Amino acid sequence: MDSRIEQYDVKMTKTIDSLAEEYVNIRAGRANPHILDKLKVEYYGQPSPLQSVANISAPEARVIMIQPWDSSLIKAIEKVIMASDLGITPNNDGKVIRLVFPELTEERRKDLVKDVRKKAENAKVAVRNIRRDANDAFKKLSKSADVSEDEIKDLEDQVQKLTDKYIKKIDKMVEEKSSEILTV
């Protein structure tokens, strides 16, 4: 791959990775321990990731179990979960915290699919903006005498193929996430 194209490939890959990260945080009725990845709990005066102070597992399809290594953290972990945007009330028995995910209603599933599509559309716009930036950079190159018009055309074609490839990836991600959400 041309080194002038490579930087745009990297940017488009980052866009896809970012979309995948956003999709992990969309609940699809199944308990996914990764929705807790961004939560930090106060531990010895330091905000620490939840995974570093507790064992997190999904023993059942709709339950996440958090078992802190230090039982004195239970109240702090509950507080962090309540303050987050998860919308789930934690239950604790003194040793472990359980997060029980309610079954999604059909209306909620449709809303989630709309959200998935909206995030995908934003990712597509980002990919297209990267293509536009690339084409603008190539036009500036054409003003310098050492690059021919044919080379510029070739670079633009390569960027277009790259854009098409990433748009297809985004469409596939939307399809997979939507079917995951709509599967009861």
Instruction: Tell me the domain boundaries of the chain.
Output: 3-25+105-182, 33-100
Higher pLDDT, 125 or 151: 125
Of 74-78, 85-89, 163-167, which range is least confident? Answer: 85-89
Burial of 102 (0-12, 13-18, 19+ CB in 10 A): exposed
Overall fold of domain 3-25+105-182: Topoisomerase I; Chain A, domain 4 (1.10.132)
What pLDDT score was predicted for residue 183? Answer: 76
What pLDDT score was predicted for residue 28? Answer: 64
pLDDT category, 181, cuts 50, 70, 90?
confident
82-92: pLDDT as tens digits: 888 777 788 88
d(CA 131, CA 162): 9
Contact (CB, 8 A) for 74 and 92:
yes
What pLDDT score was predicted for residue 162? Answer: 94
175 has pLDDT over 90: yes
Q: In sequence order, what are the residues at sequence separation of 6 or more whose Cβ sits closer than 8 angstroms to the Cβ of residue 169?
A: 16
39-73: pLDDT as tens digits: 888 888 888 888 888 898 888 878 889 899 888 88
1 has pLDDT over 70: no
92-149: pLDDT as tens digits: 888 888 988 877 788 888 888 898 999 999 999 999 999 999 999 888 887 776 778 8
What pLDDT score was predicted for residue 29? Answer: 64
CATH numeric code, 33-100: 3.30.1360.40
pLDDT category, 16, cuts 50, 70, 90?
very high
What pLDDT score was predicted for residue 94? Answer: 84
Higher pLDDT, 168 or 180: 168
The arithmetic mean of pLDDT across residues 156-174, rounded, is 94
Structural element, H or E, at residue 142:
helix 106-143
Q: Specify the pTM.
A: 0.70
Residue 66: strand pairing partners: 56, 97
